[in-house]
Amino acid sequence: MGLGYSEIGPSQDVSFTAQAHMVAEVLDSLAIEKIDLVANDSGGAIAQIFAAHYPHRLTSLVLTNCDVHDGWPPPQVLPIMEHCRKGTLAPIFQPTLDRPDLARERLRARRIGAAVPQLRRPEYSNR
Q: What is the largest CA-CA distance in the chain?
A: 55
> What band does 25 get if pLDDT is binned at 50, 70 and 90?
very high
Q: What does pTM read for this prediction?
A: 0.62
Enumerate the β-bridge partners of residue 63: 39
Is the pLDDT confidence value at 35 over 50? yes
CA 17/CA 1 separation, integer angstroms: 12
In the chain the first and final C-alpha atoms are separated, in Å, by 32
Q: Over the stretch 56-106, which tens digit does the pLDDT of each residue have?
A: 999 999 999 887 777 777 777 788 888 888 888 888 888 888 888 887 887
